[in-house]
Amino acid sequence: MQFNQKLIINGAIWVTIISVLGIPFTMYLNWILGIYDLSGLILGKYAIIIIIINTVTTFTLLGGSSVLTNFMPKIDKPEDRGRFVFTYMLICIFMLLVVLLILLESRVANFIFGDEITKKEIKIMLTLAPFLLISQLVIFANQGRMMFKRASLLNQLQVFLLSLVVTVLFFFNKKILLDNSIFVFSLVLIITYIIIIIMGTYKQIIVLGFYWTKRINNFVFYSFFNTINTYLFSNFDKLIVVNYIGIKDLGVYFVLVQIAMLIKFLSIKISQVLLSSFSNYVHSNNISELKNVYSKISELIIFSSTFFSIGLIILSIYIQVIFGELYTQNSSILLIILIFGVNFSSIGSVNSMLVLAKEMNKSFFISNTVLIIFQLSVTLIFIKDYGIWAAVLGKVIGYIIGQLGLFYILNKLKLVRIHKDYYLSQLIVVFSCIIGICFHLGKINFLSLIIFLLFMIILFLKKTSFEYNKYLLNFYKKIYHE
């Protein structure tokens, strides 16, 4: 497959544009679901839907994103790439049947959904599964073909349509969502997945036939278990919260994590570009270009995550005003603690894609397993006494250990060095978080907080090596000239 650096940078710019457009929709959706029902029940049910989506994608796609996006650029013949997608789809459909049978088992269902979700609602949510599976395969195949703009648009479609439907119901028939939230969420998502399938297959991405190699098989094995580790890190803490504290507290915790994850929003989205790009460079042994792209993308990610972190520290002041009375001063402090952890792992997605492109799956799996053990141990030990504080502490420890593990693997590869801006970002954000917590504890006033944060921003802009003026100019050209 032919590629060049311009294609990759253009892909990164388009992913940036579409991701930036998606951020306010993500925030807005969490906000409007919170004010629908001040008890937090609807937001909690939405969180359960997200857990179901993550469960299905984890255990049916067998690491599909990293597998398809990694190997499609390494398969030279277009017809073989189509057969590879078809073969992978058949395997995933078989796994889907197995997963559905397990999820319908009462004890598993009770653990995942808790006592406040009925059997009827569980069955409604599970109807999402086949549509979700095919739509995700379509998105991954588009990423593997390096059609980054289209893949990014398809990825954002879910939050766009959900925000639209929830808003319309809020103003015209609020009772429908209050009484049938699971059904409404599921119906909108099914329609979304059908649209993704139609839009994403405008060109033939599947060819009937079989394509599979031992190399793919080995990669899939560790990718599947790495995906399970990712699932546990992203979702098991939420399952612990819903089972030990309740679905309403899950809603609060879910929103705090979602807000903090905005720091990595761009990083996660750009990983769509990175894996196929890094895989191309590794396949052609073009190491100098790989290092150049890694450095440029790292600069962008570090720059954006630093500004998002400082912005979210300011947002923590108004979290109760925006999201309601369920969010107290403690919620603001918890958010700032999460901000520190997420920013520490800001380039984790970039590093992960490089590790996967080099097919260092075994080392990646060991690192992720250590991360999960620490995170879940801390959460389970302290959840009864400290509630959401335990979940947040476990999450932050997981972020730190995960990033350190990736640093260790990259050091073994001896391919790239961690960008110096990363260390600058950590200093800026750590001091900003400390000052933010001091404000919430009443140690400093609002004016002092703003002055300090402005000083941190100016210091970062002065010291960073990122040519943000040039990048913003390219950003502008993409919006207004294409």
Per-residue pLDDT of the chain (482 residues; tens, 9 = 90+): 444 556 666 666 666 677 777 778 888 887 888 777 767 778 778 888 888 888 888 888 877 667 776 677 677 787 888 788 888 888 888 988 888 888 777 676 666 666 667 778 888 888 888 998 888 888 877 776 667 777 778 888 888 899 999 899 888 888 888 888 889 889 999 999 999 888 877 566 677 788 888 777 877 777 787 778 878 888 888 888 888 887 778 878 888 998 998 898 777 777 766 776 777 777 777 788 788 888 888 888 899 899 999 999 999 998 878 777 777 888 899 999 999 999 999 888 888 888 877 878 788 888 888 999 999 899 999 998 898 999 999 999 999 999 999 999 888 887 778 888 999 999 999 999 999 999 999 999 999 999 999 999 999 988 887 766 665 555 445 444 44
pLDDT at 398: 93
**Exposed (0-12), middle (13-18) or buried (19+): which is 372, by Cβ within 10 Å?**
buried
**Exposed (0-12), middle (13-18) or buried (19+): which is 208, by Cβ within 10 Å?**
exposed
User: 262, 259, 184, 183: which is closest to 30 by C-alpha?
Assistant: 259
**DSSP annotation string for 285-297:** T-HHHHHHHHHHH
Q: CA 388, CA 397: separation in Å to the nearest integer? A: 14
Give the dihedral of Cα atoms 237, 239, 242, 243; nearest 10 deg.
Answer: -110
pLDDT at 106: 64
HEC string of 445-462 equals CHHHHHHHHHHHHHHHHH
Per the CB < 8 A criterion, the answer to whether 148 and 272 are in contact is yes
Number of domains in the chain: 1
pLDDT at 476: 47
Q: String of b and e for 325-361 (b: at least 16 CB within 10 Å)? A: ebbeeebbbbbbbbbbbbbbbbbbbbbbbbbbbbbbb
Q: CA 8, CA 13: separation in Å to the nearest integer? A: 9
Q: CA 277, CA 283: separation in Å to the nearest integer? A: 10
Residue 339 DSSP SS3: helix
User: 82, 54, 57: which is closest to 144 by C-alpha?
Assistant: 82
Q: Which residues does 22 contact at the CB level (< 8 Å), separation at least 6?
A: 156, 159, 160, 265, 269
User: 63, 60, 59, 84: which is closest to 72 by C-alpha?
Assistant: 84
User: 442, 211, 192: which is closest to 333 by C-alpha?
Assistant: 442
Q: Residue 392: phi, psi to the nearest 5? A: -65, -45
End-to-end Cα spacing for the chain: 24
pLDDT at 244: 84
Q: CA 60, CA 103: separation in Å to the nearest integer? A: 12
pTM attached to this predicted model: 0.74
Please list the alpha-helical segments (H only) found in 387-445.
388-413, 420-440
**Exposed (0-12), middle (13-18) or buried (19+): which is 163, by Cβ within 10 Å?**
buried
Q: Give long-range contacts, CB 8 A cutoff, 24+ apart: 304-307.
A: 304/266, 304/267, 305/263, 305/264, 305/266, 305/267, 305/342, 305/343, 305/346, 305/347, 305/425, 306/343, 306/346, 306/425, 306/428, 306/429, 306/460, 307/457
Q: Domain limits at 305?
A: 5-481
Q: CA 275, CA 311: separation in Å to the nearest integer? A: 29
Please list the alpha-helical segments (H only) found in 285-360.
287-315, 319-323, 329-344, 348-357
**Exposed (0-12), middle (13-18) or buried (19+): which is 258, by Cβ within 10 Å?**
middle
Tally of CB atoms within 10 A around 199: 15
416 Ramachandran zone, left/alpha/beta (phi>0; psi -120 to 50)? beta
Q: CA 356, CA 372: separation in Å to the nearest integer? A: 19
pLDDT at 273: 65
- What secondary structure letter does DSSP report for 373? H
